[in-house]
Amino acid sequence: MKYLRCIFYIVGVLLLISRAFSENTDDTFTIAPAVYIDCEDCDLEYIKSEIPFVNHAIDRAVADVHILITTRETAGAGIEHTLTFIGQHRYKGKNDTLYFVSETQDSEDRIRNALVQKLKLGLMRYVAKTAIADDIEISSIEKTRPTVVLDRWNNWVFSMSVHTYLRGEQLSSYISTYATVSGSRITDEWKLETSAYYDYNKNYFQIDDTTTISSVTKGYGAGAFIVKSINEHWSTAAGYDIYSSTYRNKDIGFFIYPALEYNIFPYSQSTRRELRISYKIGYVYNDYVEETIYDKTEEKLFHESISATLDTKQPWGSISTTLAGYHYFHDFTKNRVTLLGDLSLRLIKGFSLDLYGHASWIHDRISLPKRDLTPEEIILKIRQQATQYDYYTSIGLTYTFGSLYSNIVNPRFGD
């Protein structure tokens, strides 16, 4: 009887172990995939409501599928959307990439519908081996063959904008106007961009019955930039800028230059990663409003710059950073070094670190007025001041915890 009980006990344990392994194996192919959608500017609530057949994870670490959505501008000022599907855990190694293009005239609703359609198509390979595949119905819409469309604009895209800001109270007022017009033509081989702007700002303060302070700063400019693609890594360019700014003590000036750029990664991978090294050399002419600290009323100079820019969007986060150096040839001590960067880093489960910084070491402000600035000009920022550096930085830490999935959408009373 003792031995019989032992046999029954051993058989029972084996059955429990077998059932546990069987259930775990079945779960791999029955439960809905956990999906993490990594997108900076997507309507996630809409996506969740339209794709209810997966679990929407709030942390990429627990997701079976990490979907990284990146964008870049097309020749006609449209947007190419790249959807990179990265398999994790039970789907490790099962990766895919899909694309679609939205046009300038497309509404937000049309874009998000197209995005959802591509997401559904990309998710089918992950859903196919689960039990929920039986509830999926696939249909197609019959369409006529696309016909060749004649572009009467020949790839040119134009835009105009005017913005006015007005603020006031009993003893002070402020008005600002900024207008701009631009045009661009972009093809695989050529890129041409032109723009012009006008900027006007006026401040008024009444200190007392007999004292008032007012200030006006204004500026305008125009420029053009043309780029020729050489191959997947090299590009050459040329351009000019014309400008005027009372704040920078420049009555009129222009800068004309050639440029060369090398991208370590192929340009075709630009939605995911870029490492560009750019070199520019050019001729500068400045006619000043007032005599400068170097006793100049006008100058004709040569200028040189080199910069390195890294942009990457990966499952672990994103980096955008630029290091640039500038100098004048007539005096190498008249130089500037600028470093700016934006880092979003997913540290561990639930934690993300966001950093932004901008810093410049400035030794090239050759247009500063010779005279001493008045207190009003300094306080109201009517004229540019001497400085050896400027900086701006921000840091943020985000921690998300709680339920690993966020499938429920409740739009009551807005977001």
Which whole number is the average pLDDT over 214-234? 93
7 vs 375, more confident: 375
Domain presence at residue 157:
no
Q: pTM (2 decimals)?
A: 0.69
Task: Mark whether 267 and 374 lie in a shared domain.
Answer: yes
Summarised one tens digit per residue, pLDDT across range 88-129 is: 988 998 999 998 888 877 778 888 889 999 999 999 989 887
Out of 114, 134, 154, a domain closes at 134
Poorest-confidence range of 41-55, 211-225, 226-240, 399-413? 399-413
Q: Is 386 in the same domain as 244?
A: yes
Inside any domain, residue 130: yes
Q: How many residues does the chain have?
A: 415
| Whether residue 109 is found in the same domain as residue 244 | no
Task: For tokens 């420049």, name the residue.
Answer: 250
The structural domain count of the chain equals 2
Of the residues 111, 134, 157, the one at which a domain ends: 134
Spatial neighbors of 231 by CB under 8 A, at least 6 apart, are none
Q: Are 329 and 358 in contact (CB under 8 A)?
A: no
CA distance 338 to 317: 24
The CATH number of whichever domain residue 258 belongs to comes to 2.40.160
Residue 40 lies in a domain: yes
Query: Is residue 211 in a domain?
Result: no
Domain containing 42 equals 31-134
Last residue of a domain, one of 134, 154, 173: 134
Average pLDDT over residues 50-55: 88
In a domain, 258, yes or no: yes
**Which string of b and e fits 98-133 if b means at least 16 CB within 10 Å?**
beeebeeeeeeeebbeebbebbbebbeebbeebeee
- HSE of 337, CA atoms in CB hemisphere, 13 A: 4
Q: Which pLDDT band, with edges at 50, 70 and 90, does 25 fall under? A: very low
Count the Cβ atoms, other than its own, within 10 Å of residue 2. Answer: 6
For residue 13, pLDDT beyond 80: no
244 and 360 assigned to the same domain: yes
- Residues 243, 383 within the same domain: yes
pLDDT-based confidence at 21, cuts 50/70/90? very low
DSSP, collapsed to helix, strand or coil, labels residue 299 as: strand
- Residue 222 in any domain: the answer is no
Convert 226-243 into a string of H (helix), E (strand) and C (coil): EEEECCCCEEEEEEEEEE
d(CA 204, CA 172): 5
**99: CATH:** 3.30.160
Same domain, 390 and 251: yes
Domain membership of residue 195 (yes or no) is no
DSSP-derived letter for residue 374 is P
CA 383 to CA 164: how far, in whole Å?
A: 22
Of the chain, the end-to-end C-alpha distance in Å amounts to 68
Residue 177 lies in a domain: no
Interior CA angle at 114 toward 112 and 118, to 5°? 115
